[in-house]
Amino acid sequence: MKQPVYNYKIYKSTEETFSQTVDALLSAVAESGNGKPVRFVFFGKPTSNEEYVAQKREIVEKVALRYETARPTCSYVAQPPMDADTVLEVTYLVDFDALNLSYKETDDGTPYVVVESEGYKEVIVGGVADDPINHTVREQSKNVFVKVGKLLARENVQASDIVRQWNYIERITDFDGDYQHYQCFNDIRTYFYSRYEWKNGYPAATGIGVTLGGVYLDFNIVVGSAAELVPLDNKLQIPAHDYSQRVLLGVEDKYMKEKTTPKFERGKAVFTDDFKISYISGTAAIRGELSQVSDDVLVQTRTTLHNIAYLVSRENLLKAGVKSCPEHVKYLMLRAYIKHVEDLDTVKKYMENYCPLVEISYLYADVCREELLIEIEGIAEYN
């Protein structure tokens, strides 16, 4: 039996109202013929958490109406698109007739998708969230990971089976008193992860700021003998989970002996007979564990893309232990998180020259360190 093959597409729209924009994006998906959608990630520009909650509800309702019995996962990310009003990233499943698909919901009604074939199971989850209006970042982080734990138990999988995770954190570099939002999240993540054995490395992951919406997670789980799963280091960068205390901000959690490190790998290779990809974690202009400080966004962009190019190279995958890696690598899609609106034209011109024909989202977002102006993530394919 075949393993799943995915296609990725980015849609951008500017309509008169938010409702019309969502309708236009969903209509574009329906007319595309690219495959069966299994994940929707919307990016928008809400102006308050109340508006974020209302817009997210509208998205979820519209998706549910169009996909009554086969509903994709659905996330709404408050990262204002820089070249559209609303952006929709879609993950399509190709040649799905040979696969077993299950469309499920968590206890609180969050949809997720299970894709299975012989020796392979993938769980695709999006929009695991808490109350962004009444709870602090610390409280939200705790509650979100409780929900993750329940889903893992329901599917009889482990947190250590997560291959890719997206961590969206409202005002990521802000502080609540002495506690930085990102450090609060990292401490809660470390506590949750400590219950599991990580024999195959942590997930590839992105921890990135959002303007609104609190704390919310998307992730993919892969298990089974048909998949080769390999964590990827980068000789240019110290693994994030090995960072020293000097680059972690705020004060330690009272239950921790020290500030905990971000628990993710620089990337993760997921290889089957039919589909060979590397998930690229959120990557910035960091060498070793220190930021390559420059106020020139072009310098930071070049360093970031150089870091990524080595990470996904055949040389690096073979060094990491991937059994057989084809010669050719290409990017399937990228996201560029940009801190300053005025830097868009410079970044866009350089990236579209560097990797023409690649699907790219350009999003306004805070990066996890104040001095960093851009962060880039994506997916690379080998053939």
What is the tens place of the pLDDT at every residue in 106-154? 989 999 999 999 999 999 999 999 999 999 999 999 999 999 999 999 9
Residue type, 83: D
Q: Who contacts 262 (Cβ-Cβ below 8 Å, separation ≥6)?
A: 186, 189, 205, 207, 240, 241, 243, 368
Question: Can you give the C-alpha Rg of the chain in angstroms?
Answer: 19
pLDDT tens digits along 286-341? 766 555 667 899 999 999 999 999 999 999 999 999 998 998 999 999 999 999 99
pLDDT for 288: 63
Question: What token pair was written down for 342?
Answer: 């005025």
- CB contact at 8 A, 264 and 241: yes
Residue 224 Ramachandran class (φ > 0 left, ψ -120 to 50 alpha, else beta): left
Beta strands 111-117 and 120-129, pairing class: antiparallel
Q: Looking at the DSSP assignment, which residues form a beta bridge with residue 88?
A: 11, 42
- CB contact at 8 A, 215 and 277: no
Is the Cα torsion angle 66, 91, 105, 276 positive or negative in sign? positive
Instruction: Please name which of 35, 50, 43 lies closest in space to residue 13, comparing C-alpha atoms.
Output: 43
Q: Which residues of 309-318 are buried (b: 16+ CB within 10 A; e: fewer)?
A: bebbbeebbe
Instruction: Please name which of 322, 365, 374 lies closest in space to residue 346, comparing C-alpha atoms.
Output: 374
pLDDT for 249: 41
Dist. CA 301–CA 372, nearest whole Å = 10
Backbone phi and psi for residue 370, each to the nearest 5 degrees, phi listed first = -60, -35
Distances 203 to 79, 146, 232, 327 between C-alpha atoms, Å = 23, 18, 10, 24
Residue type, 215: V
pLDDT for 262: 72
Segments in 67-159 forming alpha helices (H):
137-155
> Which residue is associated with the tokens 């958490």?
49
Residue 220 Ramachandran class (φ > 0 left, ψ -120 to 50 alpha, else beta): beta
Q: Which residues does the chain have with pLDDT short of 50?
A: 242-251
pLDDT for 243: 47
Q: Which H or E run contains 353?
A: helix 344-354
Backbone phi and psi for residue 184, each to the nearest 5 degrees, phi listed first = -60, -45
Dist. CA 156–CA 153, nearest whole Å = 5
Q: What is the DSSP string of 238-251?
A: --GGG--GGG--S-
Segments in the chain forming alpha helices (H):
18-32, 49-66, 137-155, 181-193, 297-311, 314-320, 344-354
pLDDT for 248: 40
Q: Which H or E run contains 37?
A: strand 36-43
Dist. CA 92–CA 358, nearest whole Å = 16
Dist. CA 150–CA 365, nearest whole Å = 30
**DSSP conformation class of 171:** T
Question: What token pair was written down for 292?
Answer: 């390559």
